[in-house]
Amino acid sequence: MGKFKKIAKGLGYAVVFFALYYGINVAVSFFTELAVILRYFPGFFTAGETLSAEQQDLLLNKMYALNGVASIITTVLMVGITALIFLFSGMDGKNILGMRKPKKNFAWLSYFGGVFIGVCLSTLINIIPFPDAWNEANKESVSAATTGNPVLALLFVFILAPFLEEFVFRGLMMGFIKKYWSITPAVILPALIFGIIHGNILQGLYTFAAALAFSYFRVKGNSFWCAFLAHCGFNMSNILTVLMGKVPDVVKCAVGLIAFIVVICGAEFVFSDRKKKVKGNN
């Protein structure tokens, strides 16, 4: 197979699985909205009812409240269909996705690394004078993700969203592009698309930067689970930042400093452990 055909094949697989993910998302969102309309606005279809501004806000809030349920459905469908595709195609899905045990001590380092990156990016967002429209769009997006049942909202933010997004971007897309092309485009292209789909400029910028970091942990830890844990830590740091909105700056700095110390100490522990192994082998 020529180099161009090989690259095209890898990109083709990445596009197909992204399209599958996007299609499932759109379908689940459509039926979620339909269910909310039928439940709260039964006359919308039969009587040609138009929604007032207040009713439109209510519709959005009810849809946001179902984020957790919609995410569960999307995750089950995406993982299930992907498993069937791998099963019947004979592809080595486990290797492509990177579903293997992380390197020793790298799992928890990935998590706290994600927390540290989240704190750093949140600090930059607060320091840099971005346009008000960017900040408002970002706040609305974060608020939407945490609306509704608290348990489902936490499940969505800390587990489901990180798992599904890493499964698609650092698992499927990165795995196929890396296999048929090379590591550099496998890191950059999924990260770029990951930033774009977040819907607003500010969130797109910092999620692109975060995605590059998730890719680092995915490669260095030699496991999908490292990217997943880093993403979980990143999301937790963002929620903590929102909760600490009225906390004095000195407390925020202390939290960031603690996260930084944990990451540095963890990195030193991991690399010193590797050096001992190398010396022992010699």
The model's pLDDT over 135-183, given as tens digits with 9 standing for 90+, comes to 787 777 766 665 656 666 777 888 889 999 999 999 999 999 999 999 9
Provide the pLDDT confidence category of residue 279 given band limits of 50, 70 and 90: low
Using alpha carbons only, what angle is made at residue 53 by residues 48 and 57, rounded to the nearest 5 degrees?
Answer: 105
Beta strands in the chain (DSSP E): none
**CA-based nearest residue to 169, from 208, 200, 142:** 208
Looking at per-residue pLDDT, the higher value among 16 and 50 belongs to 16
State mean pLDDT over 31-51: 71
Looking at per-residue pLDDT, the higher value among 127 and 281 belongs to 127
Supply 143's token pair: 């608020």
Per-residue confidence (pLDDT) for residue 49, from 0 to 100: 59
Per-residue confidence (pLDDT) for residue 168, from 0 to 100: 97
Task: Give Cβ neighbours of residue 156 (< 8 Å, ≥ 6 apart).
Answer: 67, 68, 71, 145
The three-class DSSP label of residue 181 is coil
Measured distance CA(39)–CA(43) in Å, rounded: 10
Per-residue confidence (pLDDT) for residue 237, from 0 to 100: 80
For 192, the enclosing helix (H) or strand (E) is: helix 183-196
Per-residue confidence (pLDDT) for residue 38, from 0 to 100: 77
Can you give the pTM of this predicted structure?
0.81
Measured distance CA(2)–CA(6) in Å, rounded: 6
Give 247-276 pLDDT, tens digit per residue.
Answer: 555 565 666 666 667 666 666 665 555 555
**CA-based nearest residue to 114, from 170, 66, 74, 70:** 170
Give 223-251 pLDDT, tens digit per residue.
Answer: 999 999 999 999 888 766 655 555 555 56
Per-residue confidence (pLDDT) for residue 69, from 0 to 100: 80
Query: 106 near 270, Cβ under 8 Å?
Result: yes
State mean pLDDT over 70-85: 93
